[in-house]
Structure formats: C-alpha cells, structure tokens
Structure 1
Amino acid sequence: MKRLFPALGFALALVSSAAPAAPAGNGAVVIIPIRDEIESSIVYVVRRGIREATDGGARAVILDMNTPGGRGDAMEEIMEMVEGFKGETVTYVNKKALSAGAFIALATKRIWMAPASTIGAAAPILMGPGGDVQQLPSTFQKKISSAFSARLRATAQRNGHRPELADAMVKETEGFALDGVTVVKKGDILTLTDTEATKKYGKPPAPLLAEGVAADLEELLAKLGLAGATIQRIEPTGAERVARFITAISPVLLLIGIAGIYLEFKTPGVVLPGVIGVLALLIFFFGHYIAGLSGSEELILFLVGLILIGVELFLLPGHVLPGFLGVVCILVSLLWAMVEKLPSAPPLPDAPPLPAMAVFQAPMLKLAGALIGAGILVAILLRVLPKSKRPYGGLVLTRQLDKEKGFASAETRSELLGKEGIALTMLRPSGTARFGEEVVDVITEGEFLPPGSRVEVTETRGAQVVVKKR
C-alpha cells in the first residue's frame, strides 16, 4: 500500500500535465482537429473546444477534418455542439470527410476543401468486431438509411447546403442533374472530390457544396478574411490520452478482471486476486467513462454486482442466488458499456429482432473472448503458481510425504462414506459437522454452507472428510 499512493499520484500528475490552453479572445479562431476514426473520446475534445470558443467569444470555429467516419452516437453529439455555436463554423476537409465526417461537415455553415480531398459516402453501416461490414436485413437497412437521410437533409437545409446532396450521400437515389450535368447516377452513393464539390451550377452560379480549395490552414484563414486573427489550436489533454489508451487495452483489462474475480471465488481469503480483478474493471470503466463510451448507469450496475457478490461471500454463503445475480450484473454492465447505439434510435431496435443481435455482436464477442482468455489464464496460473516460490509457493506443500520416506498418514475415515449429518458451524469451506453422536472436522469442495445445513460425506482423504449439501 505504501507504494500504491505515490504511483497514483504520479499517474494523476501525468493526466493533468496537459494544461488547458488560454481562453480564446474576442475575435479569435479556434481550430479543432477531427482526425482518424470518429469515436466518443473525440466528443470530449470537440466539447472542450466549443466551450472555450463560446466562453472566449471566438469569432469562428474551424474543424480540421481527416476522417473515414466512425461511431454514430459520437457523430450526433458533435453535430449538436457545432450547430449550437453562435459564431462562424467552418469545416476544412483536409484530405477526407467520409461517412460520419460528411454529416459533421454539413453541420457547419461553410465547407472548404484541401487539394485532392473527398467528402460523402455517408450511408450508415454496422461494423463487425474484425472491422468487416455486417450485413443487415433490407427492411432494417432502409429504415436506418431513411432516418439518417432525413437527419442529414434537415442539417443541410439549416446550414445553407443543398439537401438533395445530403440525400444522395446517404442512400441510393434516382440520380439527379444540375444544368444538364449528372451529379450522381441512379443507384450510386454520392462522394465528391474537391473539384466536383467546388464546381458552380445555376443562375447565379453557386458552388455545389464547398466554397473553394485551400492548400493549407494558413491559406484558408487568408481566404476567410481571418489572417490576422488569434489562433487557438485545441489538442487532446492528458486525461483524454489516458482514456484512449485504456479503451485500446480494454480486452486485456476485462481478461484480468474476470480472472481475478474467479480466482478470488476459488481461493477465498487470499484477497490479492480479487483486488487486482476489481481494480482492472474499475480502470476499464474509468477509461470508458472519460472517453464517453459508458455512463454512470453501467458503473452503478457494476458496483451493485460487486455488492451482491460480497453478500454471497460474507453474509449468505452457500445461498448461490446473490452471487449469481452479482455475476450477471457485472457481465451485463461490461456488455452495456461496449454497446454502440445508433443516433435517434432506441438501444434495442423494435423490429426485426436480428439487428438488435447485430448491435450486440461485437461487444458479445469481445466479452466472450475475455471470458475464454480468463479461463486459459486461470488454468495456467493454477498449474504454475503452486510450483513457484513466491508469493503462493509457501502456501502449497509440494514435497511428497509417503511411507517410503518415513511418513505415516493419519487414519482414514472411510467408515463415514455416505453418512448424512448436520453442519454445526459455518463451512467456509471447512468446519465441523455432527454425524450421529460424533462431531467431525469436514470440508466442502469449495461451497460455503451455513450452520444447520444437511450434509453427506462424499469422499475421505486420509483424515480429511469431504461433504456436500444434501
């Protein structure tokens, strides 16, 4: 314990080492990076950037975007925050804004492109645990595409973009043309290059989607008339980096947590495996909470599970039900924390039932993998630890004490086999029981039994009498 607190202090120092930037001054420009896959941890970065821009009275917020897309729920939150900002909002497509990135770009009032950049391909898909696209029933696919299309059209209209483009980015359309030029063919999903997005149509001529092309952010600021503005770049803080790291190693934390709790059940009183397991799962929830992947509900359910397991171990040993419910609560909380919810849709789709299973597929596979890995780890530990000298080796006698070496075993109690009796004390798992007029020291196979339980002798190992509940 003496070493634990300095370590925690050092970890907290690392988390808080990235001090927040000074608030944006009046007329400043806040640049928020949206890089790589859009996930819930990015929501925290964007939220902090929008808050600092709002508090400091910034003139504009620029989203420096290069993303293939990502989670729908994270996208929805970012869109709402961006549209809630009262100043100028600009997306700079700095290579690509695909899928969820296209949604977010249409939530800004202005869009600019980098050379050779692309935007579009916003059809909703469900990714499998290996990164492969999951096939959904056509009815459900149409339902989700229709909801996304309506959401994107409304967003485009509010921010002065062409709603028909938004519709064509989400679902296969009948195709449409402007000034006799086909913008998207029938049955295609729209993706635009920088040249296509900035091409002008109509009278008076207006860009199809993006206002223009800028080679870099400095050129973009000049073209927006913001060359002399104070620039504030938002970067991830230490806590956000730690959260990303924790979510990346979450399968390992699940494995350690499950294995630790199981070992505590098998070796009650040793304490250390249980402590390590609980700490690993608490770190799992800490990272997912900071990253925005889970809320307080999941953590509360996890703590309820721990309390129920504690009741089973210390208050009602042998009753099974509290321990069973505790394990169920813990497993459900872990699964719930990893489930991705589609925007504007219930956690469990109402019909058909298959998509609900598809939504749970990746978390269930991760949890199943952790359970299998924990089983393998426990099997290895049970074989290795007794042979090691520390810390468990001293608790296990490895030397054979046979007659050839001069050791005599205690008298066997084989006459007790099959006899029934009453537990006089709590069996944890050892204690005493009465068989007729005789009081005998007994032990269960690991089951905890309260006083008064009826027991039966199932095995004798020398002087050791093994019983089970009748």
Structure 2
Amino acid sequence: MPRPFRILSHLILLVACLMLTLAAPAGASSVRVLTVQGAISPASADYLLRGIDKAIDDQAHLIVIEMDTPGGLDSSMRDIIKAILASKVPVATYVSPKGARAASAGTYILYASHIAAMAPATNLGAATPVELAPTDGDKPTASDKPTQSDKPEAAKPADTPTGDPKMRKAVHDAAAYIRGLAELRGRNAEWAERAVREAVSLSASEALELKVIDIVATDLDDLLKQLNGRVIKMDGQTVTLNTAQIEIERVEPDWRSRLLAVIGDPSIAYILMLLGIYGLIYEFSNPGMLFPGVVGGICLLLGLFALQVMPISYAGLALMLLGIVLMISEAFVPSFGALGLGGVAAFIIGSVMLIDTDLPGYGIPWMLIVPVAAATALFSFFVAGMAIQARARPVMTGAEEMIGAPGEILADMEHEGWARVHGEQWRVRSKAPLARGSRVRVRARHDLILDVEPDKEIDHV
C-alpha cells in the first residue's frame, strides 16, 4: 500500500477510536461506591436511590454499597430493596469496615443484593420487626436483644411467633419477605427466616459457611479482586464481572441528603417543632413582629415533615401540645402552680411517648427532654408572666395615652372650642358649656378632635 494511503488509513482508525471513546458512557468501566452508616432512614434511602439511578444512567459496571447499620424504617428499607431489584447494574452490598454490622433492615438489603459480602469481624441478623408506635404507618425493623446462634447449623424456623396478633402478622409478613429474597438470590432461606422469627445473628465466617453471603473480603480492593470473573444472573441473562484494575468512584451524600439526614433525626425534629410552636405563640402575642412568625412557621413545617416519616405516637404529640397550653395558661390564669405543674408533667410524658426508644437512633433522649421541659416551664412562668404584667401597666405613649389626660379650656365655649392638653392646642367638644380656665379630662378621641368632660376631682378640690 502506498505510504499516503497508509497514513490516511491510520488517521481514520485514530479518529474512529477517539469517537468511540467519547461516545462511551462516563462510568461504563467504573465501580460506584455508596456508603451508608447509621440507621436506614428516608435520608439514606433518598441517597441510595439517587445514587443507583445515576449509576444506571452512566452505565456503571458495578454498584457497591458499603453498609454499617443497626436497622431502620421498614418503608425506607423496602424502597432501597425495590431499587436494587430493579437495577440494571449489579449491586454488591458489603458490610464494612471491620466491626460493622448489618442488623435488622441491613440483613434484608444484604439478601436482596446480587452479591452479599462482609468484612471479617462483622455480623448480620436480628431481623425481627419491632413496632415503635401503635400506628398503622411505618414500622422500623429492629430487635430488642439480638442473640448469637450457638451452632452454625440452620435450624427449622419457629412455626408461631410470640406476641399479640398484630405482632404475629408483622413477623409472618417479614419472614415471607426475606424468604422470597433468599430464594431469588439462591441464598439460605431457612436461616433468613430464623433471623426474623428468632432474632439470631451470624458472624462473617459463619454466614459464608451457611451460604448466607457470597464473599468475605478484608477491604474493597480484596472484594473487587474476588469479584473479577464472577458470573451473575440478571433478568434471565448472565453478566460476567470484570473488576480487575477498574476505576473506583465514591459518591458522597450531597447537600439534599445531608439536610434530610439532619432534620430526619428525631431530636432535631423535636427541637424544630418546639421552636415553631414558640415562634407562632410569640407572633400571636405580639402581632406585627413578623420575624418570630416566619421563623416559627418554617421550623414547624420542617419539624412536621420530619415527624411524618417517623413512627410517632399521636397521643404523645397531643400530650406535648396540651402541656404547652397548660404552662402558658398558668401565666394568664393564676392557679398556684396547678396548671403549670400539670403542663410540665404532660409535656414530659408526651415527649417520652412521642417516639419509642427501642430502635437505636430513633429515640428522644432524656438529656434533651428534661432541659427542654425546664426551659418551657421557665418561659411560661416568668417570661409570659412578665409580659402580662407589662400589659397591665398604663399606656405611656401613643394615641391611647390621650384618654384620661387632663387639659385646660382656652376660651369660653358652648359645645366646641379649644383646650391645651399635654402642652398642645386641641380642638375639643363637650356636652356642657365650659368657661375659660376650666379643668377638663379627655374621655375619647376622634382623629384630631377630643371629647372632654369637666374634671370633677379638680373641681371638688
């Protein structure tokens, strides 16, 4: 081939390679790593769902969820599992680092993933659902006292869970759910059901022996090394992983996920709701201030938004509101402390009942409830009381201060004339004739005209 044609062919080949490189989706040869630490909440669910969707859009080769969780909300857990099951990119859930756990909701997510992996010195299990509040809404999945299995053999699951009919229904539902996930991924379904019915746990080595997980890896690099060449079934097709020398992209939570995580904390939501109530009370007591009303409205809406995704007790919320009303009423209706003390008691009881403390990370600590109750009581007894005393004082300035002010008639008058009030000349009206120099007192004001009457106290003296 002549040299010019050879050069031209090389240029065409180079341009074609560049075009293929530019056309290749970003992340097509990368691993997306998402990290979840702490309770499974609406914030963590939002972070994982958006991370999985972005990885699918970028056609990433693999999604790795590094997880360390004590459990979380049932609704958030199911949203995450639905996203994993619908993912077109393989998802590997990795319980890491050493000492981490995948308890309760984490066990379900581990079972739902295409690949289940754990680091040494980690554990999973204790997936018995626990109802946090007597409502029909979200129920966190957590265990009261996780137990460790004595032997790695998988025993037959218990036929009937203990508890009331509602609890038995929740346990049966959770057992069927995790069994379905286990059968879908070809994992140990018998032990999964024991984790729900008996709240048993496993270490990483025992989980691998019982085929609960697929891999035990010391770190992320070791995990990717072991995954290289592994064949995964997805939607009736097989996918071979090629994770050797692959690019790793870590996706950190953005501002939205961080905001949801902050306001999704029960203690923060509790404080926001109280700030909102206090702000609105202050605004209604002093109309026109605007700032307390605006800030209070925003805080109250943020607090209610956070509480509506949590399993709250409406009886506890009602007791809190009743306690605030009683403590404020003490300032208006003196009852020798009866209303105030009753309000403090109702407020504390309602705060304790608002969210149960069985699930780690979803309780309101006593160290927060007691100071807030004390501050609310002080606000009601002293601040509100001082405001009432201030209102009882006579008006010192403004138009209202003119009512009752003394004055002197400047000229004889039948019904209308002029008078000096507070060193100023005012147009005045009187029902009776008044002589010059008569002492009068203002009884009403109509714009720039004052209604006056003789000052009987001065006349009598």
TM-score range, shorter chain: 0.5 to 0.7
**Are the aligned partners of 2:128 and 2:143 in contact in 1 as well (CA < 8 Å)?**
no
Corresponding residue number in structure 2 for 1:198: 208
The equivalent of 2:124 in structure 1 is 119
| Distance change in 2, residues 1:284/1:32 (3 Å) | same
Deviations 1:111-134 (A, max 9, x none): 1121111111101113479x9959
Report the 3-state secondary structure (helix = DSSP H, G, I; strand = E; otherwise coil) of the residue aligned with 2:60: coil
C-alpha contact 1:259 1:377 (8 A) present in aligned 2: no
Normalising by the residue count of structure 1, what TM-score does the alignment of the two structures yield?
A: 0.53
Q: Structure 1's 48 and 362: CA in aligned 2 closer, same or farther, altered over 3 A?
A: same
Structure 1 pair 64/86, CA: closer, same or farther in 2 (3 Å)? same
Aligned to 1:246: 263
In 2, Cα distance between equivalents of 1:250 and 1:123? 27
CA distance in 1, matches of 2:247, 2:392: 68
In structure 1, what is the Cα distance between the partners aligned to 2:214 and 2:373?
A: 52
Provide the residue aligned with 2:220 in structure 1: 217
* Counterpart residue number, 1:276: 295
> Contact 2:273–2:304 (CA<8 Å) still a contact in 1?
no
Q: How does 1:355-370 map to 2 (within 5 A)?
A: none
Distance of aligned partners of 1:224 and 1:147 in 2 relative to their CA distance in 1, 3 Å threshold: same
For 1:260, the equivalent position in structure 2 comes to 279
Q: Equivalent residue for 2:108?
A: 103
Give the drift of 1:80.
0.6
Asked if the contact 1:24–1:52 (Cα under 8 Å) also holds between the matched residues in 2, the reply is no
Q: How does 1:5-84 map to 2 (within 5 A)?
A: 25-84=27-86
Cα deviations by residue, 1:82-119 (Å, 9 ceiling, x for unpaired)? 11112222111212111100001001022112111111
Corresponding position: 1:227 with 2:229: no
- Check conservation: 1:259, 1:375, Cα contact below 8 A: no
Q: For residue 449 of structure 2, what is the aligned residue in structure 1?
A: none
Equivalence for 1:162? 188
Contact 2:129 2:143 in 1 (8 A): no
Q: For 2:102, what is the secondary structure of its paired residue?
A: strand
Question: Using the alignment, how far apart are the partners of 2:143 and 2:127 within structure 1?
Answer: 17
Q: Given residue 261 of structure 1, which amino acid in structure 2 is its aligned partner?
A: L
Cα distance, 1:89–1:231 mapped onto 2, change above 3 Å: same
1:138 aligns with 2:148: no
Q: Which moved more, 1:42-51 or 1:161-170?
A: 161-170
Q: Is the 8 A contact 2:32 2:62 kept in 1?
A: yes
Question: Is the contact between residue 127 and residue 143 of structure 2 (CA under 8 Å) also seen in structure 1?
Answer: no
Contact 1:242 1:287 in 2 (8 A): no
Cα offsets for 1:240-267 (capped at 9, x unmatched): 2123223332222211211222233333
Count of residues paired in the alignment: 290
Which shifted more, 100-109 or 62-71?
Answer: 62-71
Shift of 1:161: 1.4
User: 2:149 maps to which residue?
Assistant: none
CA deviation profile, 1:314-364 (whole Å, cap 9, x unmatched): xxxxxxxxxxxxxxxxxxxxx9xx999xxxxxxxxxxxxxx9xxxxx989x
CA contact (8 A) 1:27 1:230 kept: yes
The answer on 1:91 being equivalent to 2:110 is: no
- Residues in 1 aligned to 2:107 and 2:181: alpha-carbon distance in whole angstroms: 11
Matches within 5 A, 1:279-294: 279-284=298-303
Contact 1:120 1:190 survives alignment (8 Å): yes
Partners of 1:385 and 1:243 in 2: CA distance: 37
Identity among equivalent positions (%) equals: 28
Q: Which residue type is aligned with residue 252 of structure 1? A: I
Aligned to 1:202: none
- Larger Rg: 1 or 2? 2
In structure 2, relative to structure 1, the CA distance for the partners of 1:257 and 1:140 (3 Å cut) is same
Q: What secondary structure, in the 3-state scheme, does the structure 1 residue paired with 2:72 have?
A: coil
Tell me the CA shift for residue 370 of structure 1. Answer: 7.8
Deviation of residue 193 (structure 1)?
0.9
Report the CA distance between 1:169 and its aligned residue.
0.9
AA of the residue aligned to 2:218: A
Structure 1 residues 252-401: aligned runs within 5 Å: 252-284=271-303, 376-383=378-385
* Partner SS, residue 126 of structure 1: coil
In structure 2, how many angstroms separate the alpha carbons of the residues matched to 1:132 and 1:122? Answer: 6
Deviation of 1:192 after TM superposition, in Å, equals 1.2
Q: CA deviation at 1:165?
A: 1.9
Let me know the Cα RMSD of the aligned residues. Answer: 4.3
TM-score of the superposed pair, with normalisation by structure 2? 0.54
For 1:24 and 1:385, locate their aligned partners in 2 and report how far apart those are by CA, in whole Å: 63
Gaps of 5+ in 1: 1-22, 173-188, 200-206, 295-334, 341-354, 356-360, 388-392, 401-408, 412-439, 442-470
Tell me the secondary structure at the aligned position of residue 260 of structure 1. Answer: helix
Distance 2:131 2:144 in 1: 6
Deviation at 1:378, TM superposition (A): 4.3
Distance of 2:112 and 2:247 partners within structure 1: 24
The 1-side partners of 2:354 and 2:91 are apart by 31
Distance change >3 Å, CA 232–CA 398, structure 1 → 2: farther
Q: Supply the distance in 2 between the matched residues of 1:221 and 1:257 (Cα, whole angstroms).
A: 49
Amino acid at match of 2:217: A
Q: What 5-or-longer segments of structure 2 have no aligned partner?
A: 1-24, 135-141, 146-161, 229-242, 312-349, 357-361, 397-403, 407-442, 445-461
- Cα drift, residue 282 of structure 1: 3.4
TM-aligned CA distance change 1:276 to 1:49, over 3 Å: closer
Q: 2 CA distance for matches of 1:276 and 1:113?
A: 46
